[in-house]
């Protein structure tokens, strides 16, 4: 209402600020900096590809991740390479973390217009070892809950030995972009009469029926949060 005192709480920015690294050289219309879109892509996945530089050469490793607000966490053994490197690096380890979902194959009449529908997020930044024990516990829960929501409350938390053997890296979501391709076939008009089938082949998603471990304690049933997946 006019004249009404507005809240002074700043509205969180709805988009990441594009940078030289997050503006693609091509197909810029497929790029987005929308935080909601970025979060939805990140939250649907749990395996990322983490890139870092070792002896001047790139290394790309698949690893699990979790998100808490505007922070991503990855974890690993304290002995694993990127986690040791981040520990020794000052001020942190430059990384690129990428998450990709493939949604469909696009079969065009021309080889050139073959494509895939996908949604990807690329995060550039510096990864730091999490040293605060409380943040580390939250991160480990987030990593489990990112794969199976609710699971951290229905499993034994890390004991001291496990906690000490696990290293966690944090990477803030500041330099971030999403890229998506949706829709159908984009053939050239003059190709439409070619005798080749064209269309979309959607990927099957989800999970098969859960396979219980052979040594389950008596009376333990598949929990609702797993059936819901």
Residues in 95-134 that interact with a copy of itself by CB under 8 A: 95-98, 100, 102, 105, 107-112, 114, 116, 118, 120, 122, 124
Q: Binder to a copy of itself among 157, 164, 174, 182 (CB under 8 A)?
A: 157
Bridge-based pairing of strands 93-107 and 47-54 is: antiparallel
Q: Least distance (Å) from a copy of itself to the CB of residue 168?
A: 13
Q: Least distance (Å) from a copy of itself to the CB of residue 204?
A: 5
Specify the residue, 1 or 224, whose C-beta has the smaller distance to a copy of itself: 224
The alpha carbon torsion through 58, 125, 81, 92 (nearest 10 deg) reads 120
Contacting a copy of itself within 41-80 (CB under 8 A) = 46-47, 49-54, 56-62, 64, 76-77, 79-80
Burial class (CB in 10 A: 0-12, 13-18, 19+), 221: exposed
Helix (H, G, I), strand (E, B) or coil at 184: coil
Q: How far is CA 124 from CA 18, 37, 49, 95, 109, in A?
A: 11, 17, 12, 6, 37
Specify the residue, 14 or 228, whose C-beta has the smaller distance to a copy of itself: 228
Q: Least distance (Å) from a copy of itself to the CB of residue 51?
A: 4
Contacting a copy of itself within 169-208 (CB under 8 A) = 184-185, 187, 191-208
Specify the residue, 97 or 169, whose C-beta has the smaller distance to a copy of itself: 97
Q: Least distance (Å) from a copy of itself to the CB of residue 216?
A: 6
| Residue 91 binding a copy of itself, by CB under 8 A | no
C-alpha–C-alpha distance, residues 184 and 198, integer Å? 9
C-alpha–C-alpha distance, residues 45 and 49, integer Å? 11
Cβ atoms of residues 86 and 128 within 8 Å: yes
């Amino acid at each position: 209402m006019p004249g009404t005192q507005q809240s002074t709480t700043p509205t969180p920015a709805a988009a990441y600020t594009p940078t030289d690294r997050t503006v693609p050289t091509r197909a810029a219309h497929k790029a987005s900096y929308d935080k909601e879109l970025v979060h939805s892509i990140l939250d649907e996945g749990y395996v990322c590809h983490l890139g870092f530089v070792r002896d001047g050469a790139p290394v790309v490793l698949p690893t699990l991740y979790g998100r808490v607000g505007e922070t991503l966490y990855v974890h690993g053994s304290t002995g694993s390479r990127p986690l040791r490197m981040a520990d020794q690096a000052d001020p942190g380890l430059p990384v690129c973390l990428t998450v990709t979902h493939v949604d469909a194959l696009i079969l065009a009449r021309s080889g050139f217009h073959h494509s895939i529908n996908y949604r990807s997020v690329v995060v550039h930044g510096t990864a730091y070892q999490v040293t605060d024990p409380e943040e580390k516990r939250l991160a480990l829960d987030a990593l489990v809950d990112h794969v199976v929501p609710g699971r951290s409350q229905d499993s034994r938390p890390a004991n001291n030995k496990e906690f000490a053997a696990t290293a966690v890296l944090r990477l803030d979501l500041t330099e971030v972009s999403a890229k998506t391709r949706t829709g159908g076939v984009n053939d050239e008009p003059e190709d439409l009469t070619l005798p080749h089938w064209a269309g979309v082949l959607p990927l099957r998603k989800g999970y098969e029926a859960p396979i219980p471990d052979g040594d389950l304690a008596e009376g333990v049933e598949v929990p609702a949060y797993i059936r819901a997946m």
